[in-house]
Amino acid sequence: MTQEPTSETGAGNEASRPDQAAPPHPDLRGDDFRAAARRVADWVADYRERAEELPVRAQVEPGEVASALAASPPELGEPLDHILDDVDRIILPGLTHWNHPGFLAYFPSSATAPALLGEFVTAGLGSNAMLWLTSPAGTELEERVVDWLRQAVGLPPEFRGVIQDTASSSSFTALLAARQAAGLEIRRLGLAGRSDLPALIVYVSDQAHLSIEKGAIAAGLGQTNVRAIPSDSEFCMDPEALRQAVRSDREAGRRPLFVCATLGTTSSASVDPVSEIADIALEEGMWLHVDAAYAGPAAILPELRERFAGWERADSLVLNPHKWMGALVDCSVLLFRDPGVFRASLALTPEYVRTGVEGVTNLMDYGLPMGRRFRALKLWFLFRNFGLEGLRSLLRAHIEWATRFAGWVEHDPRFELLAPVSFSTVCFRATGAARRPGQTAPRNPEEVDELNRRLLDAVNRTGRVFMSHTVLHDRYTLRLAVGSVHNRAADVEAAYRGLSEALDALLNTD
């Protein structure tokens, strides 16, 4: 028989019964939590100041971190101090430091102070913005900051949007919306086993990010139905080649579905001719997606706006504030014209998510995940604390330093530029030409590639800077990408000096 709660056994008497008043676990509360949070805040502040003293690229061998970690979980809890000590001892040496000022690789993704602090508040709140009801502020702030970004980059008011974790998720969601908009009942009937469907074709340039092809795989469209349209000598999609590819697919009975124009490609930051691509998308009834994951934030600079001309004609666009705006990973903004088609492609409303609140946005309807972090907070902190002027100064400085670096490379006969510098990314390499008699110059293209490989490794080994590489026109290419809030002019200079010294050393020892 169940015992009724009485003043002895039940509600109302918890305060005098410490065993019942406290949760049955060792979670820190009150002053203990405050002290631990202060220690962590100090730790993070110290890290941000001393990151520079650490080697930017991790110097560990594969498996080294794993071998320092306990093989099984502890049976008894440990003090947080011990855990933080192990962060210093095991984790820090096993990291490539994205917040190191010498991080000039890939597209940097760094943490401005307001974004980081906003993220801390997000963690403190632990709000899950899956439905409006589960986080009205999480939902409405997200809609507002996405609209602030839209305004800041000069896109028209008909665009709405949501914050996703990454551009890969944003573009995948756009592919699903395009599939939905094609009206082929794929949501209900799927793709497999259907003889009534033509192949659905996705077009990107041969410079596009892998996320579009990956999205096409995940959307069941098939890798062989992704066309890599050739790009021109400056790595921009050739619209005539796109037109021809679309024509030949139509002639073969396939259906052109989706074209992605990239503004700021991953290898060289090239800019596809989005206006011409938009014309073709319109003529052919294709969905136009714009991947501006890296370069999109640069549209806040009025002097660069014309590079984005035509992107306002897109059906969907992605920009990543976590790349070039210091909103720390993860924060990708997906903008679209027709929220209805996004909802129609994915939304499901079983009883347990029905709230009875009408006329509101339920963010879980716009992507695969149900649970959603309160990402808008860090963007709000960032916009308000930097202001658009602060963000513009950041981006302008990056572009100026990248342009300066490109000038040094261009005027140094030992190096050559391999792509125009559109934003803050420079593609270049050592030509292999000897500077002094006695230096051994490489003799063929393979040797020049090998020289550049070794040059990059030598510079990255110094721990002072970290650059990455790509291949352009079949040539191994070095890449310097300014874009971290921690980068300084001195770091870009150090990269050039490091390259210059390492190249001399390599040519002398060969």
Please, what's the b/e burial string for 85-104 (b: 16 or more CB within 10 A of its CB; e: otherwise)? Answer: eeeeebeeeebbbbbbbbbb
Distance of CA 169 to the CA centre of its chain: 10
Q: Does 167 bind ligand PLP (CB under 6 A)?
A: yes
Cis preceding linkage at 330, omega within 30: yes
Cβ closest to ligand PLP, residue 55 vs residue 264: 264
d(Cα 381, Cα 112) in Å, to the nearest integer? 10
Q: How many CA atoms lie within 13 A of 6 on its CB side?
A: 3
Cβ closest to ligand PLP, residue 238 vs residue 291: 291
Minimum distance, C-beta of residue 332 to ligand PLP, in the bound complex (Å): 5
With CB under 6 A as the contact rule, which of the stretches 28-36, 260-268, 346-354, 379-387 interacts with ligand PLP?
260-268
Query: DSSP secondary structure string, 87-101?
Result: IIIIIGGG---TTST
Give the interface size with ligand PLP as a residue count (CB under 6 A): 15
Other beta carbons within 10 angstroms of residue 329's beta carbon come to 15
With CB under 6 A as the contact rule, which of the stretches 60-68, 257-265, 335-343, 408-416 interacts with ligand PLP?
257-265
- Give the per-residue contact string, 111-150, with ligand PLP (x = CB under 6 A; - = no): ----------------------------------------
Among 238, 284, 291, 312, binds ligand PLP (CB under 6 A): 291
Using a 10 angstrom Cβ sphere, with 0-12 exposed, 13-18 middle and 19 or more buried, the burial of residue 148 is: middle
Q: Does 209 bind ligand PLP (CB under 6 A)?
A: yes
Q: Does 267 bind ligand PLP (CB under 6 A)?
A: no
Among 293, 319, 467, 480, binds ligand PLP (CB under 6 A): 293
Cβ closest to ligand PLP, residue 112 vs residue 267: 267
d(Cα 335, Cα 338) in Å, to the nearest integer? 9
Q: Does 266 bind ligand PLP (CB under 6 A)?
A: yes
Q: Does 211 bind ligand PLP (CB under 6 A)?
A: yes
- In the three-class reduction of DSSP (H, G, I as helix; E, B as strand; rest coil), residue 117 is classed as helix
Tokens read off for 269: 């930051």
Minimum distance, C-beta of residue 106 to ligand PLP, in the bound complex (Å): 6
With CB under 6 A as the contact rule, which of the stretches 236-244, 286-294, 383-391, 447-455 interacts with ligand PLP?
286-294
Q: Does 262 bind ligand PLP (CB under 6 A)?
A: yes
Cβ closest to ligand PLP, residue 32 vs residue 234: 234
d(Cα 199, Cα 222) in Å, to the nearest integer? 9
Other beta carbons within 10 angstroms of residue 8's beta carbon come to 8
- Give the per-residue contact string, 304-343, with ligand PLP (x = CB under 6 A; - = no): ----------------x-----------x-----------
With CB under 6 A as the contact rule, which of the stretches 230-238, 252-260, 289-297, 448-456 interacts with ligand PLP?
289-297
Q: Does 231 bind ligand PLP (CB under 6 A)?
A: no
Query: DSSP secondary structure string, 136-151?
Result: HHHHHHHHHHHHHHHH
For residue 245, give every residue at least 6 positions away whose Cβ sits within 8 Å of its Cβ, in sequence order, or none.
203, 227, 229
**Cα dihedral: 265, 266, 269, 273 (round 10):** -10
Residues listed for the chain: 510
Q: Which residues bind to ligand PLP, rule: CB under 6 A?
A: 107, 166-168, 209, 211, 262, 264-266, 291, 293-294, 320, 332
